[in-house]
Amino acid sequence: MSKDNGGPAFPVADPSKLDLPNLDEYYRAAGGMTLRDYFAAKAITGMLASPIQSQSGADMYARDAYTIADAMLLERVKP
């Protein structure tokens, strides 16, 4: 089972009308970006605009951006 990525950030078709086993593959093939990717992009933009540690590596920023994106996706489903 794939990780919940929030679905497409900018959908190119109505996924509920599709009969595909893996929608992640469809979104990538259709040129769509997942909401998880969108959230991570926004998070890393903020982190790079005001870095806490100037010597931090790119891999740390990328990891932290997706950690933040995952937290945002979890927060979205709370009542």
Name which of 3, 65, 7 is nearest 40 in CA terms. Answer: 65
Q: Describe the crossing of helices 35-49 and 58-76 by its angle, rounded to 10 degrees.
A: 130
List the alpha helices (DSSP H) in 2-79: 23-29, 35-49, 58-76
- Local confidence pLDDT in tens for the 79 residues of the chain: 457 777 777 766 665 666 666 666 666 666 667 888 999 999 999 988 887 766 678 888 899 999 999 999 999 999 8
Residue 54 CA to residue 49 CA, distance in Å, equals: 11
Q: According to the model, what pLDDT value does residue 6 have? A: 77
SS3 34: strand
